[in-house]
Amino acid sequence: MKSQKGVKNKHNLTLTDLWVLCFSGAFSEVVLAEEKRTQKLVAIKCIPKKALEGKENSIENEIAVLHKIKHANIVSLEEIFESKSHLYLVMQLVSGGELFDRIIEKGFYTEKDASKLIQQILDAVKYLHDMGIVHRDLKPENLLYYSLEEDSKIMISDFGLSKIEDSGSVMSTACGTPGYVAPEVLAQKPYSKAVDCWSIGVIAYILLCGYPPFYDENDAKLFEQILKAEYEFDSPYWDDISDSAKDFIVHLMEKDHNVRYTCEQALQHPWIAGDTALDKNIHESVSAQIKKNFAKSKWKVSHTSSLSFIFLYS
């Protein structure tokens, strides 16, 4: 895109023609805005061009990905504006809060609730994979609720590390978040969309017990655990979890990516498509472990940064 005088989009409309800014954190890169004509609320990610120097390919890739996708469980890009100093991405607003907060707030939480969450994630990631897109950074922090409604859908956000698969090319860049990254990425081997399926398995594990399958303060030791796919269904935390749920996780957290379940296979598993997910309340145990293992100090720095995260990205 070429810079134009003021903040304009491809239709030569200015940002202030369409939007009224009604929130901005002191140092936030995301603002809440309202469309004048419809009063629709959106999130605008404001990116200083100076911050993009040397990273142009990264943002162009993210925009290319977001332009391609339209799914009910994926945060959408609605418009792009540009000024001499900034790039503005107008994003769908998701205001329902973060995954862990919502689970903790619930008084009742079951395997069936976890199954419904994972089903939505699988459906969205299958859509991405069918489009030739690999997310590469699936984790609970990138899963947001669309609204505050009790039955709100879950939304996948943050496509900063996503990749469009090119015919004949292979992915080999080591990227992602420690704890959720697949063994083949750590082994610095060429990898495929199967890395996302591994991450979904890790997320499912956490949703059922409240703690991660792999953990060590030392990254080298953590990576060693992941490379060996060493994890347990520890007692007493897994005593009340169904064998079907454990079988589902084992098929996703499979070390051999050639054997690992695809999203399509996972969607057909009885724990997702059938009635094997239990209705027993596991809220007390899971929420206690989430509070212990995912303290807000570790993953949410301040109220302002939290607002930015809820509205768009981490």
**Annotated catalytic sites, by residue?**
137
∠ Cα 299 302 304 (to 5°): 120
Given its phi and psi angles, is residue 60 left (phi above 0), alpha (psi -120 to 50 degrees) or beta? alpha
Cα(57)–Cα(64) distance, rounded to whole angstroms?
10
- Determine contact, residues 241/233, Cβ cutoff 8 Å: yes
Buried b (16+ CB within 10 A) or exposed e, 115-129: bebbbbbbebbbbbb
Q: Can you spell out the DSSP letters for 65-121? A: HHHH---TTBPPEEEEEE-SSEEEEEEE---S-BHHHHHHH-S--BHHHHHHHHHHH
Q: Is 62 helix (H, G, I), strand (E, B) or coil?
A: helix
Return the amino acid letter for 51: A
Cα(211)–Cα(213) distance, rounded to whole angstroms?
7
Cα(180)–Cα(100) distance, rounded to whole angstroms?
16
